[in-house]
Amino acid sequence: MGILEVKNVNKRFGGLQALGDVNLSVAENTCHAIIGPNGAGKSTLLNCLIGKLIPDTGSVMFDGQSVLGRKPHEINQMGISRVFQTPEIFGDLTVFENVMIPCFAKRDGAFRMHAIESVAAETDIVDQAESMLAEVNMLEKRDIVASSLSRGDKRRLEMAMCLSQTPKLLLLDEPTAGMARADTNNTIELLKQIKARRDITMCIIEHDMHVVFSLADRITVLAQGTPLVEDTPDKIKGHPKVREAYLGE
Ligand code: ADP
Ligand code: MG
């Protein structure tokens, strides 16, 4: 049994079958990549895992519990966090303030805007926020306003915000989309570090094969809403069906 078990999931948008009988099993503490051409249904599948979409049929089990019918914030509390294509951070706040928000939310069950004077007294939050920033190598940038960070640093900050929720499963939808090569490589190194240090499972949607082959333990190829093949990166690289359907050979 994987930590994430998707069984016979179907999703239609009007006449379009976006997902057709998707089965997916993600083993705990692995990185599982989902690849496939544009429109294959990757984001739709991810949205079914986080409660943004409800499958027409099928089941999605996480850590032994069904996620179906739960709201996105409830699924988040179960231990699933996600990272979108565009980093979701608060541009007007500093790096440190950004990370404190999910720390407060986790401790208090709600966002609380604090006067700066009172924050220093919240030593547990300050310690936690500092350790999250240290984990993503951003401690020295703590007082920078988030909007002025590079793309790669914005991603780092977002990762620190995610990690402060101590997720068991991290879902990443094209985390390096639009990044320069240096930022992409930094993001790969960051994800490798996180994977090595924590008990965490990752499920990553990614177009960049360099990223996929650097991180994934297993790869599922999705084509027209249905898994075409699932295997290790080495096997996927040489698979004739994959070369034909995905790499266009
Ligand atoms: P991918 O992420 O693999 O590029 P998507 O999951 O975004 O693919 O889309 C799969 C198919 O479903 C596409 O044909 C897309 O146009 C369609 N689709 C996705 N979301 C919606 C929606 N909300 N309404 C209608 N069609 C959608
Ligand atoms: Mg997509």
Looking at 145, 165, 185, the residue that finishes a domain is 165
Give the residue among 131, 125, 209, 199 at the shortest CA–CA distance from 169. Answer: 199
Residue 142, domain extent = 90-165
For residue 105, what pLDDT is reported? Answer: 81
Looking at 165, 195, 225, the residue that finishes a domain is 165
Q: What pLDDT tens digit does each residue of the chain (249 aa) get?
A: 899 999 999 999 999 999 999 999 999 999 999 999 889 999 999 999 999 999 999 999 999 999 999 998 899 889 999 887 677 899 999 999 999 988 888 887 766 565 445 777 788 999 999 999 999 999 999 999 999 999 889 989 999 999 998 999 999 998 888 888 998 999 999 999 999 988 999 999 988 889 999 999 999 999 999 999 999 999 998 888 777 766 655
Q: Is the CB of 178 under 6 A from ligand 1?
A: no
Note whether 54 and 117 are same-domain residues.
no
For residue 238, what pLDDT is reported? Answer: 82
Spatial separation of the C-alpha atoms in residues 18 and 46, rounded to whole Å: 12
Note whether 181 and 63 are same-domain residues.
yes
For residue 111, what pLDDT is reported? Answer: 62
Note whether 171 and 150 are same-domain residues.
no
SS3 137: coil
Q: What is the pTM (predicted TM-score) of this model? A: 0.90
Note whether 26 and 124 are same-domain residues.
no
Q: Residue 241 maps to which CATH number?
A: 3.40.50.300
SS (H, E, C) 58-86: EEEEECCEECCCCCHHHHHHHCEEEECCC
In a domain, 173, yes or no: yes
The closest-lying atom of ligand 1 relative to the alpha carbon of residue 36 is: 3
Q: What is the domain count for the chain?
A: 2
CA of 112 to the centre of ligand 2 (A): 33
Note whether 4 and 14 are same-domain residues.
yes
For residue 115, what pLDDT is reported? Answer: 46
Note whether 135 and 148 are same-domain residues.
yes
**Which of 11, 13, 220 to mutate to test ligand 1, by most ligand atoms within 8 A of the CB atom?**
13
In a domain, 84, yes or no: no
